[in-house]
């Protein structure tokens, strides 16, 4: 059952929330945010929205038409598991609205998804369409890169990488790692990322995203997959953004770095995102 704005205001009290983090997705699919102290957040935000500068978002508004509104969705409320304990933070996912018309902005991915679902119902073809994406990603121990006047480079560090077989590692090279394209389903210690993925899954469940499976993928230098439940278009897109946020931040907490880019390593598997419909 959908939450109401009044229920969210009570949740702020019950969880001793200090900040409300308003999230939206830009034209390139990247999540953006702005944080509001709870003292400046009242129930009117759900009706009147929160103003922001649309001209500073890539591919959106010109400076002459920069005023836009974030409209929080009460049903999206969740606590941020990565905020410090002394600053409890609630996240609200928002639609981006044109102040002049009150309608969803035509370059806001979430507003487009809402219109698509409304159109489906209007056709009488069906009430719901379900989607189940499977995003794959790599977890590396480190990444460095640079481009200058006289050179360019990139370097990936991965303790699971086949190229790490000959590294000294202060005498602690275990030798347990997948071969190139040999990362599918080995048990630990070859799958060195089991605990990292398990932590990601626990936090996804905590944020309301149902997890079905997690495993090491084919890529031998840290490729992973977390399978989550299918749902309707807007809800499932929200869950995918939550998954990416969680993967990035858990990896960072372990001193690692995660990427969903399609082909970070030459000669090994790339990362796809199959979508069941």
Mean pLDDT, each 10-residue run in order, the chain (277 residues)? 91 98 96 98 96 92 88 97 98 96 95 97 96 98 97 97 92 94 96 98 98 98 98 98 98 98 96 96
Q: For 233-266, give one letter per residue: b (16+ CB within 10 A) or e.
A: bbbbbbbbbbbbbbbbbbbeeeebbbbbeeebbe
DSSP summary character for residue 125: S
Contact between 177 and 164 under an 8 Å Cβ cutoff? The reply is: yes
pLDDT tens, residue by residue, 169-200: 898 999 999 999 999 999 999 999 999 999 99
Distance CA 20, CA 84 (A): 14
Q: What pLDDT was estimated at residue 1? A: 72
Distance CA 41, CA 29 (A): 27
Query: In sequence order, what are the beta bridge partners of 140?
Result: 257
Scan for tokens 């278009």, then name that residue: 233
Q: What pLDDT was estimated at residue 63? A: 86
Ramachandran region, residue 218 (left: φ > 0; alpha: ψ -120 to 50; beta: rest)? alpha
C-alpha distance from residue 220 to each of 140, 165, 193, 210, 261 (Å): 11, 12, 12, 27, 16
- Dihedral pair phi/psi, residue 258, rounded to 5°: -110, 150
């Amino acid at each position: 059952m959908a939450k109401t704005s009044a229920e969210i205001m009570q949740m702020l009290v019950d969880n001793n929330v200090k900040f409300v983090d308003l999230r939206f997705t830009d034209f390139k699919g990247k999540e953006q945010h702005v944080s509001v102290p709870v003292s400046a957040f009242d129930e009117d935000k759900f009706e009147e929205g929160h103003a922001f500068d649309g001209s500073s978002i890539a591919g959106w508004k010109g400076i002459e038409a920069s005023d836009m509104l974030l409209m929080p969705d009460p049903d999206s409320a969740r606590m941020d598991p990565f905020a410090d304990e002394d600053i409890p933070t609630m996240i609200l996912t928002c639609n981006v609205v044109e102040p002049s018309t009150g309608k969803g902005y035509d370059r806001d991915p979430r507003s487009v998804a809402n219109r698509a679902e409304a159109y489906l119902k209007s056709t009488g073809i069906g009430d719901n369409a379900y989607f189940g994406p499977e995003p794959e990603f790599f977890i590396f121990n480190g990444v460095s890169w640079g481009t200058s006047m006289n050179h360019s480079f990139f370097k990936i560090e991965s303790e699971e990488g086949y190229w790490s077989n000959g590294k000294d590692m202060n005498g602690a090279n275990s030798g347990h790692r997948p071969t190139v394209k040999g990362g599918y389903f080995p048990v630990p210690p070859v799958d060195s990322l089991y605990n990292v993925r398990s932590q990601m899954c626990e936090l996804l469940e905590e944020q309301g995203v149902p997890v079905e499976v997690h495993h090491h993928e084919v890529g031998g230098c840290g490729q992973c997959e977390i399978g989550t439940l299918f749902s309707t278009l807007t809800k499932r897109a929200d869950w995918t953004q939550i998954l990416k946020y969680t993967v990035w931040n858990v990896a960072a907490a372990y001193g690692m770095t995660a990427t969903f880019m399609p082909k970070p390593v030459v000669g090994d598997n790339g990362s796809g995102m199959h979508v069941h419909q």
